[in-house]
A and B are shown apart, each in its own frame.
Chain A
Amino acid sequence: GNSVTQMEGPVTLSEEAFLTINCTYTATGYPSLFWYVQYPGEGLQLLLKATKADDKGSNKGFEATYRKETTSFHLEKGSVQVSDSAVCFCALSDLISGGYNKLIFGAGTRLAVHP
Chain B
Amino acid sequence: NAGVTQTPKFQVLKTGQSMTLQCAQDMNHEYMSWYRQDPGMGLRLIHYSVGAGITDQGEVPNGYNVSRSTTEDFPLRLLSAAPSQTSVYFCASSFRTGGSSAGNTIYFGEGSWLTVV
Contacts and interface: CB of A to CB of B under 8 A. Distances in A.
Contact of A107 (B42, B50, B54): B42
A102 B48 contact: yes
B108 A102 contact: no
B45 A95 contact: no
B42 A105 contact: yes
A43 B48 contact: no
Interface stretch (B13-21, B75-83, B93-101): B93-101
Contacts, number: 71
Interface residues of B, number: 29
A26 interface: no
A22 B106 CA distance: 22
A66 B56 CA distance: 30
B108 A43 contact: yes
B43 A96 contact: no
A98 B96 CA distance: 10
B110 interface: yes
Interface residues of A, number: 28
A31 B42 contact: no
Contacts of A106: 42
A51 interface: yes
Contact of A51 (B44, B50, B103, B111): B103
B74 interface: no
Nearest to B41: A107
Interface in B69-117: 90, 92, 96-99, 102-103, 105-111
B98 A99 contact: yes
B53 interface: no
Contact of B90 (A44, A96, A101): A44
Interface of A: 4, 31-32, 36, 42-46, 49-51, 89, 91, 93, 95-103, 105-108
10 contacts: A4-B42, A43-B90, A100-B96, A102-B58, A103-B45, A105-B43, A105-B44, A107-B40, A107-B42, A108-B40
